[in-house]
Amino acid sequence: MKHLTMLFLITAIAFQVIAQDNFTLAKLNAPAPTFSFESKPGTKHQISDYRGKVVLITFFATWCGPCRAELPHIEKDIYQKYVDNPNFELLIFGREHDWETVNKFKKEQKFSMPFYPDPERKIFSLYASQNIPRNFILDKKGNIVYASVGFNEEEFAKMKAEIEKQLKL
């Protein structure tokens, strides 16, 4: 009976992982979906503007507990480390948030890294259908070389290592 229970649990976890993976629309080792965004109100950029750089794209929401746990690590361990590196770009999008919301959150949390709005999920929906936080690393050619969902320290360490690896290429 113990073996049957264990088999059931393993199967349930496997289906959960497969189901979560189905929510990721952007594929590894494929070109990143193209989009435009405002870097400040009225100033538009294309993701293609960042070709030649390693780009970390993060999707979050102010109400998301795992997002709130991850963002201080991004600030300290990634943004502060690479803020002056001309070969790195950090793009953090507030899913379903406008400029007022992301700026208020940034100020309240005392973050110095940039935040951008994605009020209608237009950018998020190119990469995934649900679940945050989400991170995607683009190589210098604009291909997705890393993707993660949720936050835990082990996966975060893998993400940091991938950024470091891509910057050395």
pLDDT at 27: 84
Query: How far from chain centre, in Å, is Cα 92?
Result: 7
pTM: 0.85
**What is 90-149 written as a DSSP string?**
EEEEEET--HHHHHHHHHHHT--S--EEETTSTTHHHHBSS-S-EEEEE-TTSBEEEEEE
Amino acid at 31: P
**Could you give the CA distance from residue 69 to residue 157 in angstroms, rounded to a whole number?**
14
- Coil, strand or helix at 85: coil
**Span 89-133, pLDDT tens digits:** 999 999 999 999 999 999 999 999 999 999 999 999 999 988 999
Can you give the pLDDT at residue 165?
98
Q: Which residue has the tokens 């100033």?
A: 43
Write the pLDDT tens digit of every residue in 123-148: 999 999 889 999 999 999 999 999 99
Identify which has the larger pLDDT, 105 or 4. Answer: 105
Q: Which CATH homologous superfamily contains domain 2-168? A: Glutaredoxin (3.40.30.10)
pLDDT in the model for residue 13: 39
Q: Mean pLDDT lowest for which of 20-24, 133-137, 152-156?
A: 20-24
Residue 3, pLDDT score: 53
- End-to-end Cα, the chain, rounded Å: 52
The partner residues of 33 in beta bridges, in order of sequence, read none
SS3 74: helix
- What confidence tens digit (pLDDT) does each residue in 23-76 have? 777 788 999 999 999 998 889 999 999 999 999 999 999 999 999 999 999 999
pLDDT value at residue 1: 56
Q: 């750089």: which residue's tokens?
A: 53
Domain positions in the chain are: 2-168
Say whether 43 sits in a helix, a strand or coil.
strand
Distance CA(8)–CA(10), nearest Å, equals: 6
